[in-house]
Amino acid sequence: MNKLFYLILIIFSLSSCSFNPNSKIWNEDRNKFESNKNLKKIIVNEKNKIVELNPSIKIDLSNIKTNIDFKKSTNNFGSLIYKGSFDKIGSFKFLKFKNLNEINFEPLFFENSIIFFDRKGSIIRYDKNHKVIWKKNHYSKSEKKLSPKMSFFKEGKNIIIIDNIGKIFYLNGLDGELIWMKNNTYPFNSKIRSSQGKLFGVDYNNILRCFYIKDGSPCWKYQTDTSLTLSNSKYSIILVKDNVVFTNSLGDITSIDIADGSVNWQLPTQSNLVLNETYNFKNSELISDNKSIYFSNNQNQFYSIDIKTGVINWQNQINSDLTPIVVGKFIFTISEEGYLYTLQKDQGNIIRINDIYSFLKVKDREKIKPVGFLIGNEKIYLSNNDGKIIIIDLSSGKVIKTLKISRDQISRPFINNKFLYIIKNGFINQYN
């Protein structure tokens, strides 16, 4: 009986010891797992703990030259001229899309007119009075049913178009007539950029494609790593000096020499944990001031990268997939949670954080997400997924007013020739 008692006592002691994290018998991997698990909880909690920082600080941009003729190739809009009162003066009508939320809308401002497309793939040019100048469709009957989504780029008097079904079009912008058309192996998932007689786009297979503008023939391509799942957002592409810089579904940033397609540098930004869920991963658009590249993502990361070397200048914790804006020595961005961040461009220090959704109830706040923003004459114009525009005083970071544009999703704002434009389903609204 005593032997049985002692045997039970020994077994109990060993069991207690093995499940004690302070025990030497404790499994090291299990210990690490519990530690990482707790760390993950802390990180998640900290990510949601956002408070205003120096909300009373004034940001003075009065001595900074307004970026009238910004370079579209670098995606940095800067501060644009818009002194209007946000009064609607008209609309450009197009055939509605079935799902506006899946489309990254961007009209082309061309020769005092606007070029856009509809759900059947018709390309439409409007005059300044909202009338149709021409309407062309270069798709087959079966292709029209796919509801192609287009990206435009102005090349002199002509227009380059790529889409999400793998087509490339080169049109006469004045009359819409087709100059040439080519097919790509994979659908495109980026905007278009052009330089040195070449055009560039990134397809869904994470390949940067280069074509000669004169006839659409391929000049070179560069394949980056691929993922098993497609990205839920567009890849970004910019031109900086003689280089094309782009992102892929894995969060890699790659710089390529335009002349011959050789690699300057490549920077992976994500761990394997994130790469397994690439569908949910979203980068902002890349922007550049010709010295550095700036971008953020929905993994709470904001980067500044040296354009020559690909070395990270600085990194900060901001959760946003919106295109940031550089004005002078400042960077402005808006997080997914609805906070306006003002950063020092060179050091990445956060100067000010303003809660622009502070007027919302908690239950409403969880539903509202920012879509995109622009800066015009020291005011920020922010689109939300509830069809509203929030106007913010840039100097103070305070909300001036909120305007209802649509019951559904709207695009980010666009400013051109001192007018502001917003796309909703079926219309491009113009405001003075």
Q: Give the model confidence (pLDDT) of 183-231 as tens digits.
A: 999 999 999 999 999 999 999 999 999 999 999 999 999 999 876 666 6
pLDDT surpassing 50 at residue 404: yes
pLDDT in tens, 329-373: 999 999 999 999 999 999 999 999 999 999 998 888 989 999 999
pLDDT surpassing 60 at residue 6: no
Q: Does a structural domain hold residue 404?
A: yes
pLDDT, greater one: 276 or 346: 346
Of 49, 72, 88, the position where a domain reaches its end is 49
Q: Does a structural domain hold residue 126?
A: no
pLDDT, greater one: 148 or 275: 148
Q: Does a structural domain hold residue 317?
A: no
Structure tokens at 218: 């391929």
* Domain identity same for 97 and 12: no
- Domain range for 377 is 59-104+324-432
Q: Which H or E run includes 13?
A: helix 2-18
pLDDT in tens, 413-425: 999 999 999 999 9
Q: Does a structural domain hold residue 393?
A: yes
Those residues whose C-beta lies under 8 Å from the C-beta of residue 202, and which sit 6 or more positions away, are 188, 189, 190, 208, 209, 235, 237, 246, 247, 248
- Residue 234: the pLDDT is 86
* Domain identity same for 40 and 68: no
Cα distance between residue 190 and residue 187, in whole Å:
10
User: For the stretch 366-404, what's the b/e string if a residue is b when 16 or more beta carbons lie within 10 angstroms of its beta carbon?
Assistant: eeeebbbbbbbebbbbbbbebbbbbebebebbebeebee
Those residues whose C-beta lies under 8 Å from the C-beta of residue 300, and which sit 6 or more positions away, are 47, 317, 318, 319
Q: What percent of the chain has pLDDT over 90?
A: 70
Contact 308, 324 (CB under 8 A): no
Q: Does a structural domain hold residue 281?
A: no
pLDDT surpassing 50 at residue 27: no
Instruction: Name the residue among 330, 335, 240 with its Cα closest to residue 282.
Output: 335
Number of C-beta neighbours around residue 340 at 10 A = 26
Mean pLDDT of 43-56: 68
Structural domain tally of the chain?
2
- Residue 2: the pLDDT is 47
Find how far residue 405's CA is from the centre of its chain.
22
Q: Does a structural domain hold residue 154?
A: no
Q: Is the dihedral of CA 20, 24, 29, 33 positive or negative?
A: positive
Cα distance between residue 108 and residue 372, in whole Å:
17
CATH number where 87 lies: 2.40.128.630
* Domain identity same for 64 and 45: no
* Domain identity same for 427 and 335: yes
Mean pLDDT of 140-163: 95
Q: Does a structural domain hold residue 24?
A: yes
Burial class (CB in 10 A: 0-12, 13-18, 19+), 342: buried
* Domain identity same for 329 and 423: yes
* Domain identity same for 328 and 419: yes
pLDDT band at 62 (very low <50, low <70, confident <90, very high): confident
pLDDT surpassing 70 at residue 43: no
Give the range among 63-72, 139-148, 165-174, 339-348 with minimum mean pLDDT. Answer: 63-72
Structure tokens at 400: 């001036």
* Domain identity same for 45 and 64: no
Burial class (CB in 10 A: 0-12, 13-18, 19+), 323: buried
Contact 268, 251 (CB under 8 A): yes
* Domain identity same for 344 and 403: yes
* Domain identity same for 349 and 412: yes
* Residue type at 412 in one-letter notation: R
pTM: 0.86
pLDDT band at 69 (very low <50, low <70, confident <90, very high): low
Contact 248, 206 (CB under 8 A): yes
Q: How far apart are the first and last CA of the chain?
A: 96
Structure tokens at 303: 């980067």
pLDDT band at 286 (very low <50, low <70, confident <90, very high): very high
Of 30, 49, 68, the position where a domain reaches its end is 49
pLDDT band at 12 (very low <50, low <70, confident <90, very high): very low
* Domain identity same for 64 and 13: no
* Domain identity same for 385 and 429: yes
* Domain identity same for 76 and 28: no
Q: Does a structural domain hold residue 137?
A: no
